[in-house]
Amino acid sequence: MTEDRSSTSNTINVGSRCSELALCQTNLVIEMLKDKNSSLNFNVIKMTTKGDQILDKALSKIGGKSLFTKELEVALDDKRVDFVVHSLKDLPTTLPPGLTIGAVIKRHDPRDCVVLHTKHRAVTRLSALPAGSVLGTSSLRRIAQLARHYPDLKFENIRGNLNTRLRKLDQDNKYDGIVLAAAGIERLGWKDRVNLYLEKHDMMYAVSQGAMAVECREDDVETIAMLAEIHHQETALRVTAERVFMKELNGGCSVPLGTWSMLDEEGLSVSGAVFSVDGKEMLYSERNEMMPSNCPFLRPPIAPFSSTGFLSHHQVDMIHGQRPKLTSDAHSVKGLLRNKIIVHRSGMCCPTQDVAKYDIAEQCGKQIAASLIRKGAREVLDRARAAGIVNVNEAPKNCVNNANTSEAATSSQSSVKLENGTPSDGALNLEDVIPVLEDDNSSSVAEPPCKKSKPTCLL
């Protein structure tokens, strides 16, 4: 029997960044939850993150993805909010202790797109742009791939929310076009601004691009049970493989790394690639995994939590298999099992009967990373990291973060075995970060045009 989230709390507090896109995505999640249970009440608490405040530097120059998530996670850990909604590509592959991804929302178009200046509205392919045309993007991934395929183009940094970047394109007369994630611009109802969509041969997209994640506390059984109602399994399996691939390579905004995935009746197919900053080097790998519902090597589903209050041997084995260092108390673990949910070791909640599928997706990501490491991916990425990146969002001093300390030692090796271990993201110490809360009545933040955008915000 599923826990009734509305029975114990009248209002559910939701954390969100202040941008128009962030608020629109948060409202989309809220609408989905209300469709499942109309008695739920929500209060959106807007916050400003460090990534929102630093707009004069490229993301590759200011460090990791927690730039856009840490302040929200502090509020979550302090129980000032019950869950937060992220663009999943902004969420680090290693979450702070005690937090989990409670739901992944159905993926929107993961491709990148190009919005051109009005003087180029007749252009239908990038190769038709005049030599020396300037495209605005702060993404090393995008620059590396476009420079590889279109060496006559130039690139300039551009930061800010979607509204800001579009205004700069229209008014500054500095850019011939800008490169954006298709999902964001379409969610806001601005699909008509898009001139070109970039396919796999031109641009492999960012890990998890186009997907939204709902992060919550892993011991909050009621919230997780509520979020399970909107969890999209196909998207979750794809992004699990992608996120593991990136984690194994210690990837992030500071390195050019791309992926492409699909899941159908034939199974899971995932591609991954790393690039040099100038795009002249590219290492590529792909893997296909069978994942039909009747796959003979899938483990049997876990039995529901019994009314006796005791765990079966199979349940205990599954718990230890997914969470080698269990951070939740036994009560919350039992509560999740009662709802047929478990926190997978990848940091994502999943149905207990589908754990083996998430294991396969995780292994798929690891195998792609291992293949690229054997081809020399570490060396390529080390050179990208050595390009003078300044991390203004480094973790507190008492955090455990050895992600980069041993990287230099591997630079002389032609290949590295996966079992040697890939430096992992350090755990965040949330108590050292203070979020900036925004007044709901602030006039500086416009409400998202979700009503206007609803036809194009379908998930």
3-state secondary structure the chain: CCCCHHHCCCCEEEEEECCHHHHHHHHHHHHHHHHHCCCCCEEEEEEECHHHHCCCCCHHHHCCHHHHCHHHHHHHHCCCCCEEEEEHHHCCCCCCCCEEEEEEECCCCCCEEEEECHHHCCCCCHHHCCCCCEEECCCHHHHHHHHHHCCCCEEECCCCCHHHHHHHHHHCCCCCEEEEEHHHHHHCCCHHHCCEEECCCCCCECCCCCCEEEEEECCCHHHHHHHHHHCCHHHHHHHHHHHHHHHHCCCCCCCCEEEEEEEECCEEEEEEEEECCCCCCEEEEEEEECCCCCCCCCCCCCCCCCCCCCCCHHHHHHHHHHCCCCCCCHHHHHHHHHCCEEECCCCEEEEHHHHHHHHHHHHHHHHHHHHHHHCCHHHHHHHHHCCCCCCCCCCCCCCCCCCCCCCHHHCCCCCCCHHHCCCCCCCCCHHHCCCEEECCCCCCCCCCCHHHHHHHCCC
112 given a catalytic annotation: no
Exactly one of 77, 90, 219, 425 is catalytic; which is it?
Answer: 90
Which residues are tagged catalytic?
90
